[in-house]
Amino acid sequence: MPRDRVTKALIPAAGRGTRFLPITKVVPKELLPIVSTPALEFVVAEASRNRLTDVILVVNEGKAAIADYFAPHPELEAVLAAKNDQTALATIKRAANLATIHEVEQLEPRGLGDAIAQGEELAAGGPLAVLLPDDLIDERDDLLEQMLAVYDERGGIVLGLIDVPRAEIRKYGCITPGDSDGDVVAIKDLVEKPQPERAPSTLAIIGRYVLPPEIFAALRETQPGAGGEIQITDAMRQLVRNGMPAHGVVFRGRRYDTGDRLDYMRAVVQLGTRHPQIGAPFTAWLREYVQGLE
């Protein structure tokens, strides 16, 4: 039987964003801008580029602004149309045209595994790509495309991986690697946030997953793990131990982490230098500014 093609992406956006307080009292972390575009839109655009036609956003009651961002705004559209401002009109319509957006609520931020579990009904028995909105992958290095190709060929679980310095593995989920074929590595086991000296490898799981429908049953049986949260790594480990094939794609391209303040500032500067309108003058200014610091 041919494998179901992945057509749905789930993007969890129901966390508390405590590292970005106080702004996250009122603005969801996922809407913080890279120049003037929310980080979340970059990730929805990545899903759209990879022919994922349905995007499931996991939100909570404090995140109404996320739904508003992806909804049409007829009044503003009318004002811009009257001024014949086609550029602004295109930018405000862009997000809504990327995919069919669905929302589900996670009542309490009980962890990434629990956030993903909220997508079960909308996944409707099919596989799901999960994209974390604080992990931006440069569009020139499409990791997800490679991961979806591995899923088409081999099924099971497919994870995005990066090779990190050993001291940093404690911040990530980590895999025990098996055989590898170029950048594709078989996964024999997984562990969340290991101590560096005990970590089975330096291959860290980043925010891109392709998950088979069996993940939902595994999540139902997953107890809170590291940090008291329902960990997706624990549910995946259970599937792997029961014989589910799992592979990772080791990513060596450009990635921008927007999950904490320092990384977010780096991402804004890096992507700011490539911005279609302000990139060139910003880069020229940045060069002079940095010279002034030396």
Residue 29 is a binding residue for ligand UTP (CB under 6 A): yes
Q: In the beta sheet, which residues pair with residue 9?
A: 55, 129
Stretch that binds ligand UTP, among 92-100, 126-134, 150-158, 238-246 (CB under 6 A): 126-134
| Residue placing its CB nearer to ligand UTP in the complex, 13 or 203 | 13
Half-sphere exposure of 210 (CA within 13 A, CB side): 31
Stretch that binds ligand UTP, among 103-111, 190-198, 269-277, 279-287 (CB under 6 A): 103-111
| Residue placing its CB nearer to ligand UTP in the complex, 15 or 38 | 15
Stretch that binds ligand UTP, among 75-83, 92-100, 107-115, 175-183 (CB under 6 A): 107-115
| Contacting ligand UTP within 194-233 (CB under 6 A) | none
What does the alpha-carbon distance between residue 108 and residue 130 come to, in Å, rounded to a whole number? Answer: 19
What does the alpha-carbon distance between residue 56 and residue 47 come to, in Å, rounded to a whole number? Answer: 11
Number of residues this chain uses to bind ligand UTP (CB under 6 A): 22
Residue 102 is a binding residue for ligand UTP (CB under 6 A): no
Compute the Cα dihedral for 37, 38, 41, 42 and give only its sign: positive
DSSP states of 98-133 as a string? Answer: SSEEEEEE-SS---HHHHHHTTHHHHTTS-EEEE-T
Q: Of the candidates 4, 19, 102, 263, which one interacts with ligand UTP according to CB under 6 A?
A: 19
Q: Of the candidates 6, 13, 47, 267, which one interacts with ligand UTP according to CB under 6 A?
A: 13
Q: Of the candidates 132, 136, 184, 267, which one interacts with ligand UTP according to CB under 6 A?
A: 132
Residue 111 is a binding residue for ligand UTP (CB under 6 A): yes
C-alpha distances (whole Å) from 2 to each of 130, 151, 154 are 22, 12, 11
What does the alpha-carbon distance between residue 172 and residue 184 come to, in Å, rounded to a whole number? Answer: 19
| Residue placing its CB nearer to ligand UTP in the complex, 80 or 129 | 129
| Residue placing its CB nearer to ligand UTP in the complex, 40 or 143 | 40
> Shortest Cβ distance from residue 130 to ligand UTP (Å)?
9
What does the alpha-carbon distance between residue 3 and residue 269 come to, in Å, rounded to a whole number? Answer: 41
Closest CA to 14 of 115, 97, 103, 122: 115
What does the alpha-carbon distance between residue 56 and residue 102 come to, in Å, rounded to a whole number? Answer: 5
Q: Of the candidates 41, 46, 54, 114, which one interacts with ligand UTP according to CB under 6 A?
A: 114
Site residues, ligand UTP (CB under 6 A) = 12-19, 29-30, 58, 106, 109-112, 114-115, 132-134, 259
